[in-house]
Structure 1
Amino acid sequence: MTETSLAQDTAADTATGSPVRLQAVAAPGQPDVTPALEELYRGFEQELLVPLWTEIGDLMPAHPRSRAVPHLWRWERLRHLAARAGDLVPVGRGGERRAIALANPALAGRPFATPTLWAAIQYLMPGEDAPEHRHTQHAFRFVVEGSGVWTVVGGDPVPMNRGDFLPQAGWNWHAHHNATAEPMAWIDGLDIPFQYVTEAQFFEFGRDEISDAERVTPERSRSERLWGHPGLRPLSAASATPGSPLLSYKWAHTDAALSDQLLLEKEGFGGTVEPGHAAVRYANPYDGSDVLPTLRAEFHRVARGAETAPVRETGSSVYQVFDGSGVVTVGDTSWTVTRGDLFAVPSWAPFSARSEAGTTDSDAGALDLFRFSDAPVFEALKLNRTQKDA
């Protein structure tokens, strides 16, 4: 092919719309802008090629530059809109769930709280059922208020009450039913964005209705009766599964662990991650690993008047205020937060929290924060990094 025909083909392809667009610019470290360079770039466009020297600043920055931004969603507003949806939007095949996802304002309207994390408020009306299905996405439910809904995982009815954390590994059949005369809301967390971008997701419909035997309302699920005894692993346990076999982590245990850490600190024995800051990670009772392969869940309690040191981490997080009040700072943005509020922390954005909670707005007199993140993915890929700012 002659240079003339190459130029003609390039012009024709550009006219028809190659997705690659290159512009020669006069800048340090860039080649001189000449007609020959322009012709070279048109050839790259025609063949769908992108030279690294035009992209290195974006592809290989000095530190993570997240596409997400810090953002806060107010619980009162979310719950109000979810209640309106309860009156207008049915639950059934097609929509499957009355779940309303948090959309980070910098992610082009996608229903993603961060590039890897999905968070949503789910709302179930009195006597209502959410039909059975399963998906490869790993998921959990966290209850900031209310009770009366049972999630049925693999035929095991699991009660949902305030403060309970309920993990559910991917590809498990699950449905929900509200056995009370009151509506109930909770938050769902999933790795939907991660599986979406990696093109790894599968989904399958289950039964339209669960059986009468599954529509019971036990105080403890079968998984809790087998796995919910601290420090004790049943010898009948089979080989490890992709996620935790314990389907509910009760608030009473979480609360006691956090309270004991702060009491030990007060008595001079340590036990907290920093002064006034107690924290726990929800762990798989089989081997102590994370409860889900792609999601980490933690609970943090910051005593009144205490402030956490700013911390940066690769990977992103979503927090929900479980109780109390205070000021949280993400990057250059600070918010006063109260019960139920949710906020996103993008990768490498410094995060800190100051507790202003008291006995009037918190059972523990502290700022209680539930957190979930994509940390297991970054650790598995050896991309995890943490920096505590002075």
Structure 2
Amino acid sequence: MSKEWESKIKDFISKIEKENLTTFFAATHPKYSTSVFRFTKEPTHVALPYVWKYKLAKERLLELAEILPPEEAERRNINFVNPGLKQYFPAIAAATLPTLRGGIQMLKPGERAYTHRHTANAFRFVLEAPQDGAYTIVEGHKLPMRPGDVILTPNWTWHDHHNEGNTYAIWFDGLDVITAYWLGGVFYQDFSDINVEKYQKITNTSEDVMAKYLGVKPTFESLPSHLPSSDNPLFYYPYSLIRNSLVRLAEKGKGDPYYGVELEYINPTNGSPAFPTMSLKIRLIKGRDELKPIRRTENRVFVVFEGSGTFEIEGQKYVVEPYDVIAIPSWKKYSIRNDTSDNLIIFSYSDEPVFKALGFMREKREE
């Protein structure tokens, strides 16, 4: 094209951008576009693969605990922010991946975090806790917090946290709040907004939850009317049961060459993922085993729980230890190696259900 044409098209693009308009040509052409968006042959994204070391995150959390008392904060936590997403998301969103937030939260002995609820789905994966005394209450159900336990706080469920033990309670928080934020679906409410008290009452136990939904479903009971029908009623997945299942399956073989021995936390009422927007999984990789590289259209966050190993993401290697957090954006090639003779157990969550619902789910297994 002539220089005159190039000058005209640049002037036109500059003019309509000031008017908050654009054209397909201006938005996608590699020479004239000022946007990061492109139609690409394979998925690309500005989010970066990233590893947060637990040692540093915990150090900052303990430092914050000396400065910020729980009564001055809704929740005392340290969130994991993807460096590739900082310029696209407001600070409140604190995006770990394009649709997901992750962070660690802590209560000192004797502390509690007051009751609230929100439309964003969330879960707690317990990292460190006293032998007894730490618990979360979800819709009146008192659920113990022990290392490895997963506790759900689905859409619009009342929940609060307590530590009556003698050591810190630290857990990983995972939420789909980034999805809810950009869709315009975030609602929030404190218990004290509609009640005199700041805390809900205990009406049930973890045993009640397990009795109702572990392999069976009551025919005479439904969710409270204020909860969406899509909510998972099984709020509690004790690690003792999950680990036992992993180990038993591992005794029979190595599992899938790309996933190892992997289990998914499900909604027992319909067999679907734990949340409509998030899939929660846990995998075991046997001693010295190495999983083959894979690409998937999902944004996944891993949390190492037992053992140590190496993640290789797009050719870059990361040595990881217990409680380290690994973010892998959609379609990034990765593999995992167990560097020890002991089992490597890794928890993870992703937006896989969203990709499946939209028909975007793809997987590419590599050698």
2:279 is aligned, of 296, 311, 317, to 296
1:209 is aligned, of 158, 183, 198, to 198
Q: Does 1:389 align with 2:366?
A: yes
How many residue pairs match? The answer is 345
Q: Given that residues 258 and 293 in structure 2 are in contact (C-alpha distance below 8 angstroms), is that contact kept between their aligned partners in structure 1?
A: no
Query: What's the CA shift for 1:36?
Result: 3.8
Q: Given that residues 326 and 336 in structure 1 are in contact (C-alpha distance below 8 angstroms), is that contact kept between their aligned partners in structure 2?
A: yes
Query: What's the CA shift for 1:124?
Result: 0.4
Q: Given that residues 278 and 302 in structure 1 are in contact (C-alpha distance below 8 angstroms), is that contact kept between their aligned partners in structure 2?
A: yes
Q: Where does 1:194-273 land on structure 2 (aligned, <5 Å)?
A: 194-207=179-192, 209-210=198-199, 214=202, 220-227=206-213, 229=214, 231-238=215-222, 241-265=229-253, 272-273=255-256
Distance 1:276 1:177, change over 3 A: closer
C-alpha deviations, 1:332-387, integer Å up to 9, x for none?
321111111111001111121000133xxxxxx21111010011111111111111
1:82 is aligned, of 55, 61, 73, to 61
Query: What's the CA shift for 1:89?
Result: 0.7
Aligned to 1:67: 46
C-alpha deviations, 1:189-235, integer Å up to 9, x for none?
00111111212111111135326x5399x6x35322322x3x32233
- Structure of larger gyration radius: 1
Root-mean-square deviation (CA, aligned residues, Å) is 2.3
Aligned to 1:96: 74
Query: What's the CA shift for 1:31?
Result: 9.5
Aligned to 1:12: none
Q: Given that residues 168 and 292 in structure 1 are in contact (C-alpha distance below 8 angstroms), is that contact kept between their aligned partners in structure 2?
A: no
Query: What's the CA shift for 1:307?
Result: 0.8
Q: Does 1:158 align with 2:137?
A: no
Q: Given that residues 129 and 177 in structure 1 are in contact (C-alpha distance below 8 angstroms), is that contact kept between their aligned partners in structure 2?
A: yes
Question: Sequence identity of aligned pairs in percent?
Answer: 28
C-alpha deviations, 1:59-104, integer Å up to 9, x for none?
3122111211111111122122212222211113x62100211011
Aligned to 1:17: none
How does the TM-score come out when normalised to structure 1? 0.82
Distance 1:332 1:257, change over 3 A: same
Query: What's the CA shift for 1:52?
Result: 1.2
Query: What's the CA shift for 1:276?
Result: 8.7
Q: Given that residues 169 and 244 in structure 1 are in contact (C-alpha distance below 8 angstroms), is that contact kept between their aligned partners in structure 2?
A: yes
Q: Does 1:368 align with 2:345?
A: yes
Distance 1:319 1:35, change over 3 A: closer
How does the TM-score come out when normalised to structure 2? 0.87
Distance 1:32 1:246, change over 3 A: farther
Unaligned runs of 5+ in 1: 1-25, 267-271, 359-364
SS in 2 for 1:116: coil
SS in 2 for 1:294: coil
C-alpha deviations, 1:267-287, integer Å up to 9, x for none?
xxxxx2228920000011111
SS in 2 for 1:292: coil
Moved more, 341-350 or 202-211: 202-211
